[in-house]
Amino acid sequence: MKINPNIKIRDVVGEHIVVMPGEAQTDMTRVIALNDSALLLYNALAGRDFELEDAVRILTDEYEVSDDVARRDAKVLLDDMRKNNLLV
């Protein structure tokens, strides 16, 4: 999988917000904000192909969590990203 190359992350008053450039109409009722771990994964994985295990490794390297906890959290994040068309 790969992060959609069209998305951009913008810092808006300290919040990291996903922006999809080029969309004719923006749905302002649906804002996607990234927490620190989601931003870490975005920065580490953007622009390359990756698997769930790559995200797990990044989380376990950065945080003191078990592989199981990192895998569960990464899966939730990647499922949400897929649902919101942030993955290709």
**Which pTM does this prediction carry?**
0.85
What's residue 34's pLDDT? 94
Q: What is the mean pLDDT of residues 55-84?
A: 96
Query: What is the residue extent of each domain of the chain?
Result: 8-83
Confidence of residue 41 (pLDDT cuts 50, 70, 90): very high
pLDDT the model gives residue 20:
77
- C-alpha dist (Å) from residue 2 to 42, 69, 76: 10, 22, 16
String of DSSP letters for 62-80:
HSS--HHHHHHHHHHHHHH
pLDDT of residue 54: 98
| Distance in angstroms (rounded) separating the CA atoms of residues 64 and 11 | 26
Cα 67 to Cα 80: distance, rounded to the nearest angstrom: 20
